[in-house]
Amino acid sequence: MAQTVFAPWNDPDEKPLIQFRGVTKRFGDFTAIDNLTQDIYAREFFALLGPSGCGKTTMMRMLAGFERPTEGQILIAGQDMSRVPPNKRAVNMMFQSYALFPHLSVWDNIAFGLKREGRDKDKIAARVEEMLRLTRLSKFAKRKPHQISGGQRQRVALARSLAKAPKLLLLDEPLGALDKKLRQDTQFELMDIQEKTGTTFVIVTHDQEEAMTVASRVAVMDEGQIIQVATPDQIYEAPNSVYVADFIGDVNIITGRAAPQGDKVAIRFAEGQPEIIGTTTKTFEPGQEIHFAIRPEKVAIDTEEPEDTPNKLRGKVLDIAYLGNISTYHVELPTGLIVKAQTANTRRISRRQITWEDTVWISWTDTAGVLLDR
């Protein structure tokens, strides 16, 4: 059975769950969100990614109802939310600080929202038990928040926000307080829970790896605007700007002048250096400023001059960063430009022949990099 790819944003018949329509939010003189329009679909795991102060948290707080847009509308399931207070929204939030009530036990924290709905006791108890099982917290039900570990607290916060079965769950830097190892485990757990419950998740994070791992789509934000929205692989392989390319992962940016040659574009970036040849669907004017972005792992490094390759440059090894599974070479071109090249360490260390001060060749194919006009 062929599994259909989950991509409601490509389906014109699909109704979005959340619609931002020309939303602007100002705090005094400061514009946090600048005329933003964006749709988010049911069952999506949508990540808002950006540096602090880019407006991602404000977007989330507007969804939760803690802030009102200065201009524009936010619709959830087709309903305008601007007059709906937080406690009347089918939206729950997992707070960055977790915001667990310190005077209540784990059990009572999870039951808090359910009790507000006035459901009967048996149903509340059953739902709390279910959430405890889902988040593997059954053993800790009677403990107070300060009597459990950070990772367990994170799961209590998740269970509490999921207990009311919201249409939309907002997660504000949900893993920020956890150490790296725990964070990775928890990322998969989050995805698993999202899949099991079928809830729409909107996550705010500044950690690009986290966004790439969990999200169905990633929105990269800067200064109150969304720069690019795409699936993680598109964001990585086909960034639409230097900003996105630079924000996600490691990248070499070479800036030069465009010289279109049929379906290819040559980039002149320095006197006495060969042109870089790249492929693109965009059109560039001759002489236009152009940025060539290429990921280090797509740059090959050799001691001998490679043949049959459209792009090759000579340089000197300046630095080697050994990271265990991979090594990154910093190669200085005669112009002073430094290009990073990465190789997988498939051999033992003694067998590798490149070392400091060696003269090397770096090379890549004409489809390895992206050509960007901004």
Partner 1 sequence: MRRAFLIAVPYLWLVALFLIPFVIVFKISLSDVALARPPYMPQLDLSAGWDGVKSFFAELDFENFAFLTTDDLYWKAYLSSLRIALISTALTLLVGYPIAYAMARAAPEWRPTLLMLVILPFWTSFLIRVYAWMGILSNEGLLNQFLLWLGAIDTPLTILNTNTAVYIGVVYTYLPFMILPIYSALERMDDSLLEAAEDLGCSRLSAFWLVTVPLSKNGIIAGCFLVFIPVIGEFVIPSLLGGSGTLMIGKVLWEEFFSNRDWPVASAVAIILLLILIIPIILFQRNEQKQREAEG
Torsion sign over Cα 283, 286, 289, 292 = positive
Check: CB of residue 187 under 8 Å from CB of residue 210.
Answer: yes
Shortest CB 66 distance to partner 1, Å: 6
Cβ proximity to partner 1, 116 vs 374, nearer residue = 116
Shortest CB 109 distance to partner 1, Å: 9
Check: CB of residue 332 under 8 Å from CB of residue 288.
Answer: no
Taking CB under 8 A as the criterion, the residue among 66, 188, 322, 356 binding partner 1 is 66
Residue 112 touching partner 1 (CB under 8 A): yes
Near partner 1 by CB under 8 A, which window of 47-55, 87-95, 129-137, 341-349? Answer: 87-95
* Phi, psi angles (nearest 5°) of residue 150: -60, -40
Residue 161 touching partner 1 (CB under 8 A): yes
Q: What is the rounded CA–CA span in Å between residue 105 and residue 226?
A: 40
Cβ proximity to partner 1, 37 vs 79, nearer residue = 79
Taking CB under 8 A as the criterion, the residue among 117, 195, 233, 285 binding partner 1 is 117
Complete DSSP assignment for 177-229: TS-HHHHHHHHHHHHHHHHHHT-EEEEEES-HHHHHHH-SEEEEEETTEEEEE
Residue 235 touching partner 1 (CB under 8 A): no
Shortest CB 105 distance to partner 1, Å: 13
Taking CB under 8 A as the criterion, the residue among 85, 198, 262, 324 binding partner 1 is 85
Tokens of 348: 């033992």
Residue 287 touching partner 1 (CB under 8 A): no
Taking CB under 8 A as the criterion, the residue among 92, 152, 187, 241 binding partner 1 is 92
- Exposed (0-12), middle (13-18) or buried (19+): which is 59, by Cβ within 10 Å? buried
Closest CA to 205 of 191, 185, 189, 220: 220
Cβ proximity to partner 1, 86 vs 287, nearer residue = 86
Near partner 1 by CB under 8 A, which window of 74-82, 158-166, 332-340, 347-355? Answer: 158-166
Shortest CB 215 distance to partner 1, Å: 22
Shortest CB 300 distance to partner 1, Å: 49
Residue 334 touching partner 1 (CB under 8 A): no
Q: What is the rounded CA–CA span in Å between residue 181 and residue 179?
A: 6
Q: What is the rounded CA–CA span in Å between residue 322 and residue 348?
A: 12
Residue 131 touching partner 1 (CB under 8 A): no
Amino acid identity of residue 190, one-letter, is L
Task: Calculate the alpha carbon distances from 232 to 122, 142, 245 in Å.
Answer: 43, 40, 12
Shortest CB 216 distance to partner 1, Å: 24
Cβ proximity to partner 1, 93 vs 220, nearer residue = 93
121-134 helix and 150-162 helix, angle to the nearest 10 degrees? 140
* Footprint of partner 1 (CB under 8 A): 64-66, 85-87, 91-93, 95-97, 99, 101-103, 112-113, 116-117, 146, 160-161, 164
